[in-house]
Structure 1
Amino acid sequence: MPCLLYKPNNPFHLSMHITTPFKTMKLIIPFTIILILSTLIVTASAATAVLDTEGKTVRTGVQYYIRPAARDVAGGLILASRNGSCPLDVGQARSGADLGSPLTFSPVNPKAKTVNLATDINIQFEVGTICVQSTVWRLTGPQEGTGRYYVTSGGVKGNPGIDTLDNWFKIEEFMGTYYKLSFCPTVCDTCKPLCGDLGIVIENGQRWLVFSTDRPFPFEFVKA
Structure 2
Amino acid sequence: MRPTLAYPVRDIDGNLLRSGTKYYILPVFRGRGGGVTLAATRNESCPLDVVQESFELQNGLPLTLTPVNPKKGIIRESTDLNIIFSASSICIQSNVWMLEEYEGERIISGHGQAGNPGQETLSNWFKIEKYENGYKLVFCPTVCDFCRPVCGDIGVKIDENESRRLAISDVPFMIMFRKA
TM-score when scaled to structure 2? 0.95
Partner of 2:155: 199
Give the deviation of 1:85 after TM superposition: 2.3
Q: Does 1:76 align with 2:35?
A: yes
3-state SS of the aligned residue for 1:46? Answer: coil
One-letter amino acid matched to 2:174: P
Match in the other structure for 1:64:
23
The CA distance in 1 between the partners of 2:6 and 2:134, in whole Å, is 18
Pick 1 or 2: higher relative contact order, CA cutoff 8 A, min separation 6. 2
Unmatched tracts of structure 1, length 5 or more: 1-41
Which residue among 161, 169, 177 is the counterpart of 1:221?
Answer: 177
Q: Distance in 2 between matches of 1:109 and 1:93?
A: 31
| Structure 1 vs Structure 2 CA RMSD | 1.3
The yes-or-no answer on 1:99 pairing with 2:55 is no
* 1:155 aligns to 2:112 (yes or no): yes
Structure (1 or 2) with the greater strand fraction: 2
Deviations 1:153-199 (A, max 9, x none): 11111100000000000000011x20000000000111110111000
Is residue 71–residue 97 contact of structure 1 (8 Å, CA) maintained in 2?
no
Q: Equivalents in 2 of 1:209, 1:47: separation in Å? A: 25
Measured after TM superposition, the shift of residue 206 of structure 1 is: 1.5
**Aligned mates of 1:90, 1:71 — CA distance in 2:** 20
CA distance in 2, matches of 1:133, 1:220: 26
TM-score scaled to structure 1, two decimals? 0.77
Question: Does residue 87 of the first structure (1) align with residue 44 of the second (2)?
Answer: no
Counterpart of 2:33, as a letter, is A
Deviating above 3 A after TM superposition, structure 1's stretches of 4 or more consecutive aligned residues are none
Where structure 2 has 5 or more consecutive residues not aligned to the other structure, the ranges are none
**Structure 1: which amino acid aligns with 2:129?**
E
- Report the CA distance between 1:87 and its aligned residue: 1.3
- Report what 2:127 is aligned to: 170
1:68 shift after superposition: 0.3
Write the distance in 1 (CA, Å) between the matches of 2:112 and 2:125.
9
